[in-house]
Every structure is written in structure tokens, then in C-alpha cells.
Chain A
Amino acid sequence: MSSQDNDQLTDHEYDGIREYDNPLPNWWLMTFFGTVIFAFIYWLHYEVGGGPSLKAELNQAMLALQAHKQQAVVKELSEADLETMLKDPQMAAAGALAFTGKCAACHGPELQGGIGPNLTDAFWLHGKGTREDIMHTIQKGVPDKGMPPWESMLSQNEILSLTALIVSKQDTNPAGAKPPQGEKVR
């Protein structure tokens, strides 16, 4: 109780409320001055001193990611490479899992088609239904028709396994199949 007994009361009184005339706490003042100094230096650096713009920072980060990606990128796979790689039945099983999560909403759970085309028949809209074509369509999508590009969303392995699944489902004639679209290739 002693500390505030020494505090100086002002002569102010409003509806019984009195006011002390205590000094501003030092730590509070230091915090205030500190933030003002920081603010000034920050502003000086970015707005006067030529600090990087947000756009420049983004470009740099994207370049770094690109470089990263190029290191990790798999070489372009040919139809023959794919044929050997996709023989493993495990691949198609893994593809089925990815398909249910990402593709079934538009292509139907049995690949029979829906919003998107039937993937089990002999008719193809984009390419000739080769493994290379299928993989390419998954990677790059067909944005005009509403097929999103999946290469940023799915790993190389997932795209391979999806390709394996689609190849394995050819001519399965699922129930409720969507009528053929595109060119007959077989």
C-alpha cells in the first residue's frame, strides 16, 4: 500500500473520480520509442532504400522452387518406358485410391464418365489413349473443358499409378457408361 500513498494526486475530480499524476512507466516509453524507431527504419529500407518489392521477393522464391523442381524432375517417359513401368499390378491398385479421391467426382467411380468423359471405352478426346497421352492429359489438364492440370497437385508416382489404373480399366464396360465422345482409336 505504501507506494501509491506517495503518489501525487492531482486536484482533478469528476463525479468523485480522482487522478494521480504518476509518470509514464519507463518500459512503456522505451517500447513506444522502440517501435517508432523500428517503424522508421523498416519504412526507410523498403520504401526509400530500395529494399525488395513483394513482387521481387515472390519472383525470387518462385525461381528457387523452379530450380528445385528441375533437379527433381524425371526424364520424359516414352510409351515403351511406361509400358514396362506400369506392369506392376500394385500400380493400378494405388491408382484406384488416388482416383476415388480426385477423379471420381467427374469421371465416375467406375471410370464410366459423368461430368467428364468415359475413360473405359475406345473413344478418346485428347490423344489416342496411349499411356503417354493419358499421362500428358493428367499432367497438363484440358482447362478449356474443365479438366484441371494435376501436375502441381499430384506426385509423379500418383500420376503414373493413375495412368496404370486407366489402362487396366479399358473395355470393362461399366454400368451406366457415358456415351462415346471423341475419336475411335481401336
Chain B
Amino acid sequence: MNPQGTQTITFDDKIVRYFLLAMIFWAAAALSAGLLAALQLAYWPLNMNLEWITFGRLRPLHTNAAIFAFAGNAIFAGIYHSSQRLLKARMFNDILSKLHFWGWQAIILAAAITLPLGYSQAKEYAELEWPLDIAITVVWVIFAVNFFGTIARRRERHLYVALWFYIATIVTVAVLHIVNSIEIPVSLTQSYPVWVGIQDALIQWWYGHNAVAFFLTTPFLGLMYYYVPKAANRPVYSYRLSIIHFWALVFIYIWAGPHHLLYTSMPDWAQTVGMVFSIMLWAPSWGGMINGLLTLRGAWHLLRTEPVIKFFVAAITFYGMATFEGPLLSIKSVSALGHYTDWIVGHVHGGALGWNGMLSFGMAYFLVPQLWKTDRLSKKWMEWHFWLALLGVILYYVSMVSAGITQGLMWQALNPEGKLVYPDFVETVMRIVPLYWVRAFAGLLYLSGFVLMVVNIVRAIRHQPVQDGTIQVAATVSRSPNEDAGHRRLEGLATIFTVLTLIAVAVASMISIFPILNLKQYVSYEKTVEPWSPLELAGRDIYVKEGCYVCHSQQIRQLPFDVLRFGAASTIEESMWDRPFQWGSKRTGPDLARVGKKYPHLWHYRHMIDPRAVTEKSIMPAYPWLVAKDTDFIGLRKKLSVLKSLGTPYPDDTVANADIVAQKEAAVIARELEAQGAPQGLEKKEIVALIAYLQALGQKATPNAGERP
């Protein structure tokens, strides 16, 4: 019976349980895929000559699973649980909640099928093809309606800081995803982005960087602001700090994307903007760490007895480390050393395993006894999980930073003659392979801890009844903002708060992206760059499909040791027809921007079938299926016509006869291959198209006698 004038609300905790279990399920997939990928780098035969799990396709599967499946479901579990309590309202609509849950799981499942099949846009963390891009947009809108609907029905006048971060997440991820995914379909399983060359690079890394910011940072800060004070039973350290660091973070983060492109052919101003905003991001990020850690003042004794607090403290500490390291790596001269190396891999795993992972695990342990009637979670097992996970992250981080700095220094080393000390790329790979074993072992430790969690939670909840939270609220609540002033007033005005957040990210985005939309002002007309020929394009799509960008860059930086190793620095013009751009972000193998004509066709033929045949110590997987599979010639007509409609200057008859032109090109290469000693009859095979593309890399620019158009 309710006292007079009050009513009881039952929260929708079923959906929280669903998301929590989904998080655990997909974490298993993400971590296992990560471990296999790590082992493949240490021991190439584990690619097993299976195209579906070869590193180039497995790595996108791992990153997408970790970010969108593991972290994504963790975020949703936490948001659905905490928002209902912070807003004193049941979720707006149970059907929307279910659609959100099942829609998201369906997308993940589709990703887990399509990525191994090679349906990929080859843009990091945005690999999924256009039908899934649309599905993501729809599900995200469902989530947004459900979330803002709940805010509209709240029985709390003000929005707590956790909700500010949730709002920033929902609004910004929508903007990022939509803008980066503007693409024209070629078929059900392929599309070309509207953005081209440096545009595509800038927008992709504006997206990529802010996916980290608004999918792996802001929502988790929101979760921290709810679960840390809850678990420690302590007030949040500073309300004022919450306000300042929230707005600073939202405004500054969005500019920092170009720090992924330092020393590339990206115009200097964009690189400078990326670097200085990254440096300004240091303090706002640490604002979150301070507020998290200092909330535990007076509760530090819990660190001894409460594993949940251990997980949270470790998570926040890793957040602090990663957000200090990020600005550091964004300094141009540090990036010169660290970019393309495993240092970056170490950095992101410090964030993913340390911050996102530990916070999610802590949250799961906190939630289980609330969502099920159980007191059977074993603290001892939680302790074991914690120490295994901590040791795993530290070992992972140390091994990869050592590998990265070692390899970076080897790439830079010059002898007194001014020549590279380690001109053979594979030599710099061999040096760090032992560290790849250490990293794989670290991953195994982390995964083992996770397995303990699964067993612990399954044992705790099996045969136990579920329980849904309830709360008694006054039937009517005043939500008039008029009694407040300043920011406090804004916290009562959800719509205006959301619009201001949107403006903060949108203005920064527009200022940093707009100039690049007019590509012409950056293109020099001293050289003409031919678009890819039909066969080269077919080969390029194979390069994209196999995920070559995962290990090979196509961007020689404006750095002397890069130029000595790979040739003249890459130019804006050289990628001006590239959809998608393929600059890459990691050099597990050498840069390929100027690999064209460096080796004979037969070298590539033998190399693709068995890389060890030409480079004894290579760790690259073999691609024998390229010799067996036929090139899709007929699809080229559609591909060229889509590219032409986007502005690539193909003559009409080339478009109309794309397949015939390509077949003629293929016949020439197949004959040359045969003359060099390869078997007959390769002209229809994918290997020939890929060789055509590789041989064209860096070869498309010719001096221009004509006038600037």
C-alpha cells in the first residue's frame, strides 16, 4: 500500500539483465578473437590458410566486437540501469527497449558474419557495409527516443552529471556515424564513400578518434559517475569540476582527430589543429579521473575488502594513464616515433582493457546481486579475476610499448653515411616477435580472469530468482526550473542542454572539416594523377576486402627516414581518387605507397601464395585463394559508373566497357607472368587484378604540361 500521494514505480531491469548477459557473451568473443589475432602475429601459421580468419579480416572483427559488442552492451546495461534510477522513471517504452536490444544484437551477429566474409569498407571501426550502417542508425535512433522519452517523463528536476555524459554520447555518436558513413552502394555488399582521399582520411579519423571519445570515454565516465559513488557510498568530489570538465571535454575532444595523421599529406593546418587540441584535452580528461578517484577519499579502506572498488580504481587509473599518453603521442615529434608502431596498440589496449574492461567488470559485479536475488558471488574469485586482469593489462602495455619504441627507433636509425641501419623491414619485425609472444600471453591472462568472472556469475545467478528495482515517488513532482540559476538551471532544461551539447560538437566539427570539402584548393596541378584503371580498381577492391590496410600503410610521411626507406613523401594528389582512402594506421609490414614496379609480377605472385618464398622471415599470412578465385569483371561497370557519378573522370566508353578493358589488361599481365615462369591461365584470377593494383601504386602521377583547369 502506498502512502497518500505517492506511487510505486517498478524499473525495467529485465532489459538491464539482457544487456549485461549480452556484454558477457560478446566479451568472450572479442577477447578470444583478440587472443587469436595476437597469436597470429607471433606465429603466422595460425592464420591457417583460411581466408575468413586471416589477420586482415580477423582484426576488424576483434575491434568491432570489443568496441560495439562488448563495450556497447556494457554501456547500454549501465545506462538503462542508472538512468531509470537517476530519473526516477521506468524506461519510456518497453518495446523500444526490446527493439534496441535485439536490433543491436542482430547487427553484431551480422558483423560477425560479414566481416570474416570480407564485406568491409576498410575504414577502421567503421568497416561494416552500408545495410548495417543503416541498421545502426535506426537502432541508435530507437535508443535515443527511448532515452530522451525517459528524460521527458522524469520525476527528478535536475539531470545528474552521469546523464550529461549519456546525452553527449547519444547525440555525438549519431553525428559521427552518419557523416562518416555517407556512401553510395554498388551492390548489397559493397559501397564507395562519398568522401575521397584526404577528405576521407580527415573524416574517418574525426570519426575514429571520436568513437574513442564518445563511445569509449563519455559513456564510461557517465557510468563512473553513477557506480563509483554508489559502490563506495561517498559523495562525488566536486560538482564544479564535473561542470567544467564535461563542457571542456565535449568541446575540445572533437577537434583532435587529425593527430592520427601527423606528417602525412594532410594539410599542415589540420595537423596543427589536431595536435594542439589533443594537448588541451589532457586536463579536461584528468578532471574525470580526479573526480572519480577523489570521490573515494574516506573510503580507501574498501580497496582492501571490496573487489568492485578495486576494479573501479584500476579502471580510473588506466583512464588517467591513457589520457595522459594520448596528448603525449599527439605531439608531432613523439608521433614521428610512435605512429605506425605497436606503441599505439599498447596505448589503446591500456584504454580498452584497463579503463573500459575493468569498469565493465566492476559494474557487472556490482549489478549481479541487485538484478538477481543472490549473495553467491565469490569474492575470492573476483580477487583472482582482478589480479589476472591487472597483470594482463600491465604486461600487454609494457610489451607493446617496448615493441613500438624498439621498432620505431630501428626505423629511424641512420649510420654515419646517412643510410638506414636497418633497411630490411623484416629485420625490424623479427626483433619484436618475442614481444608478440609476451603480448599473447598477457591476453591469455586477461582472458583467464574473464573466464573466472563468467563461471562466478553463472554460478551466482543459476536457479536464482530475478529481481526488479522499485521506488516510491511522489505522484507529482515540480520540475519548474525557475527556482534555479546558472548551470543548475540548465540541468533542469534537458532539451536546451542537449541542443547546447549538439552545438558544441557540431560547430567544432564543421570548422575542422569544412575547409577540406573543397578539395580543389589543395590539389596541385603540376602533376596529373590518373584514376585507377578498371583492373586496378578490381585489385584495389580485393586489397580492401582482404584488409591489407590493417598491416600496410600507403602513406609515406614527411620524415627523412620514411623517405629514405620508401621513397618520396606521399602527396595529396596521389590519393585524390581513392575511395576509401587506404593510408592505414599500422605498419606490421612495410608501406606500400610506392611498391609499384619495385618487384616483377612473379615476385608478387609467389609472395601472395607464400610470402616465405621471397622473404624468408616474413610473418605475413599466405593468400592462396587469390589464385583460385575469379575476378568479378562484370561488376566493374557498376563500380566505375558509381565512381564516375562521384566525380572520378572515367571516359564514358571505359565505364560502359569496364569489364572488357579489365580483361584485356588482365590478359597482358597474365602473359607477362607466364613469361616469367608462372602457370598459364591466370588472367581471370584475383591474383592478377591484385598484382595490377600493387604494380600501379605510386605510378599514377605524371608531370602535367597543361594549364590549371
**Chains A and B bind each other:** yes
Please tell me if the beta carbons of A144 and B560 are within 8 angstroms of each other in the complex. Answer: no
User: Which residue in chain A gives the minimum CB-CB distance to B606?
Assistant: A115
Please tell me if the beta carbons of A58 and B235 are within 8 angstroms of each other in the complex. Answer: no
Q: A35-B279, A152-B423 are in contact. Are A144 and B597 (CB under 8 A)?
A: yes
Interface assignment of A24: CB less than 8 Å from any CB of chain B: yes
The residues of B that contact A15 with a CB separation of less than 8 Å are 82, 85-86, 88, 226, 230
Interface of B is mostly: helix
Interface assignment of A50: CB less than 8 Å from any CB of chain B: no
The residues of B that contact A185 with a CB separation of less than 8 Å are none
The residues of B that contact A61 with a CB separation of less than 8 Å are 559-560
User: Which residue in chain A gives the minimum CB-CB distance to B567?
Assistant: A152
Interface assignment of B517: CB less than 8 Å from any CB of chain A: no
Task: For the complex, count residues of B whose C-beta is within 8 A of A.
Answer: 70
Please tell me if the beta carbons of B238 and A23 are within 8 angstroms of each other in the complex. Answer: yes
Please tell me if the beta carbons of A153 and B597 are within 8 angstroms of each other in the complex. Answer: no
Residue among A10, A29, A102, A106 making CB contact with B239, cutoff 8 Å: A10
Please tell me if the beta carbons of A24 and B416 are within 8 angstroms of each other in the complex. Answer: no
Cα A100 to Cα B656 with chains together (Å): 49
Cα A69 to Cα B676 with chains together (Å): 37
Interface residues of A in 1-22 (CB under 8 A from B): 1, 3-4, 9-10, 12, 14-22
The residues of B that contact A153 with a CB separation of less than 8 Å are 419-420, 423-424
A2 CB to nearest chain B CB (Å): 10
Interface assignment of A116: CB less than 8 Å from any CB of chain B: yes
Please tell me if the beta carbons of B298 and A4 are within 8 angstroms of each other in the complex. Answer: yes
Stretch of A36-44, A75-83, A124-132 that contacts chain B:
A36-44
Interface residues of A in 90-137 (CB under 8 A from B): 101-102, 105-106, 114-116
Please tell me if the beta carbons of B424 and A32 are within 8 angstroms of each other in the complex. Answer: no
How many residues of A sit at the interface, in one of the four size bands?
35 or more
Interface assignment of B286: CB less than 8 Å from any CB of chain A: yes
Cα A40 to Cα B236 with chains together (Å): 33
The residues of B that contact A154 with a CB separation of less than 8 Å are 423
Please tell me if the beta carbons of B283 and A65 are within 8 angstroms of each other in the complex. Answer: no
Interface assignment of B418: CB less than 8 Å from any CB of chain A: yes
Cα A27 to Cα B186 with chains together (Å): 55
Cα A36 to Cα B86 with chains together (Å): 34
Residue among A14, A24, A36, A66 making CB contact with B280, cutoff 8 Å: A36
User: Which residue in chain B gives the minimum CB-CB distance to A70?
Assistant: B418
User: Which residue in chain A gives the minimum CB-CB distance to B228?
Assistant: A17
The residues of A that contact B277 with a CB separation of less than 8 Å are 39
Interface assignment of B644: CB less than 8 Å from any CB of chain A: no
Stretch of B215-223, B264-272, B396-404, B535-543 that contacts chain A:
B264-272
A98 CB to nearest chain B CB (Å): 11
B85 CB to nearest chain A CB (Å): 4
Interface of A is mostly: helix
Q: A23-B238, A42-B272 are in contact. Are A3 and B160 (CB under 8 A)?
A: no
Interface assignment of A57: CB less than 8 Å from any CB of chain B: yes
Cα A144 to Cα B672 with chains together (Å): 13
The residues of A that contact B423 with a CB separation of less than 8 Å are 152-154
Cα A42 to Cα B275 with chains together (Å): 10
The residues of B that contact A35 with a CB separation of less than 8 Å are 279-280, 282-283, 327
Interface assignment of B677: CB less than 8 Å from any CB of chain A: yes
Please tell me if the beta carbons of A22 and B603 are within 8 angstroms of each other in the complex. Answer: no
A37 CB to nearest chain B CB (Å): 10
Please tell me if the beta carbons of A22 and B298 are within 8 angstroms of each other in the complex. Answer: no
The residues of A that contact B239 with a CB separation of less than 8 Å are 10, 12, 19-22
Interface assignment of A84: CB less than 8 Å from any CB of chain B: no
Please tell me if the beta carbons of B272 and A46 are within 8 angstroms of each other in the complex. Answer: yes
Please tell me if the beta carbons of B558 and A54 are within 8 angstroms of each other in the complex. Answer: yes
The residues of B that contact A72 with a CB separation of less than 8 Å are 416-418
Interface assignment of B46: CB less than 8 Å from any CB of chain A: no
Interface residues of B in 273-294 (CB under 8 A from A): 273, 275-277, 279-280, 282-284, 286-287, 290, 294
The residues of A that contact B160 with a CB separation of less than 8 Å are 12, 14, 17
Q: A23-B240, A32-B283 are in contact. Are A14 and B156 (CB under 8 A)?
A: yes
Please tell me if the beta carbons of A22 and B597 are within 8 angstroms of each other in the complex. Answer: no
User: Which residue in chain A gives the minimum CB-CB distance to B262?
Assistant: A54
A40 CB to nearest chain B CB (Å): 8
The residues of B that contact A10 with a CB separation of less than 8 Å are 239
Query: Which of B294, B559, B599 has the largest number of chain A CB atoms within 10 A?
Result: B599
The residues of A that contact B559 with a CB separation of less than 8 Å are 58, 61
User: Which residue in chain A gives the minimum CB-CB distance to B469?
Assistant: A15
Please tell me if the beta carbons of B283 and A143 are within 8 angstroms of each other in the complex. Answer: no
User: Which residue in chain B gives the minimum CB-CB distance to A37?
Assistant: B280
Encode contact with B along A44-78: 1 for CB under 8 Å, 0 otherwise: 00110000011101100110011011001000000
Cα A45 to Cα B377 with chains together (Å): 58
B674 CB to nearest chain A CB (Å): 13
Residue among B236, B276, B603 making CB contact with A17, cutoff 8 Å: B236
Q: A15-B85, A115-B603 are in contact. Are A46 and B268 (CB under 8 A)?
A: yes
Q: A28-B290, A58-B558 are in contact. Are A152 and B598 (CB under 8 A)?
A: no
The residues of A that contact B676 with a CB separation of less than 8 Å are 115
The residues of B that contact A144 with a CB separation of less than 8 Å are 597
Interface residues of B in 202-251 (CB under 8 A from A): 226, 229-230, 235-242, 244, 248
Please tell me if the beta carbons of B417 and A68 are within 8 angstroms of each other in the complex. Answer: yes
The residues of A that contact B283 with a CB separation of less than 8 Å are 28-29, 31-32, 35
Cα A10 to Cα B243 with chains together (Å): 14
Please tell me if the beta carbons of B280 and A152 are within 8 angstroms of each other in the complex. Answer: no
Interface assignment of A148: CB less than 8 Å from any CB of chain B: yes
Interface assignment of B519: CB less than 8 Å from any CB of chain A: no
Interface assignment of B602: CB less than 8 Å from any CB of chain A: yes
The residues of B that contact A69 with a CB separation of less than 8 Å are 417-418
Cα A92 to Cα B39 with chains together (Å): 40
User: Which residue in chain B gives the minimum CB-CB distance to A1?
Assistant: B298
Query: Which of A9, A12, A29, A148 has the largest number of chain B CB atoms within 10 A?
Result: A12
User: Which residue in chain A gives the minimum CB-CB distance to B560?
Assistant: A61
Residue among B226, B271, B563, B615 making CB contact with A62, cutoff 8 Å: B563
The residues of B that contact A143 with a CB separation of less than 8 Å are 597-598
Interface residues of B in 551-591 (CB under 8 A from A): 558-560, 563-564, 569
Q: What 11 additional pairs, Cβ within 8 angstroms, besides A36-B280, A42-B275, A106-B599? A: A9-B235, A15-B230, A35-B283, A35-B327, A40-B276, A54-B263, A101-B424, A106-B603, A146-B598, A152-B423, A153-B420
In the A-B complex, list the 3 residue pairs whose CB atoms are closest, starting with the nearest: A146-B600, A39-B276, A32-B283
Q: List 20 A-B contacts (CB under 8 A).
A: A10-B239, A12-B160, A12-B239, A17-B160, A18-B236, A19-B239, A21-B240, A23-B238, A24-B240, A24-B244, A25-B241, A28-B290, A35-B280, A38-B276, A57-B558, A58-B559, A65-B418, A115-B676, A115-B677, A153-B419
| A interface residues (Cβ-Cβ under 8 A, vs B) | 1, 3-4, 9-10, 12, 14-25, 28-29, 31-32, 35-36, 38-40, 42-43, 46-47, 53-55, 57-58, 61-62, 65-66, 68-69, 72, 101-102, 105-106, 114-116, 143-146, 148, 152-156
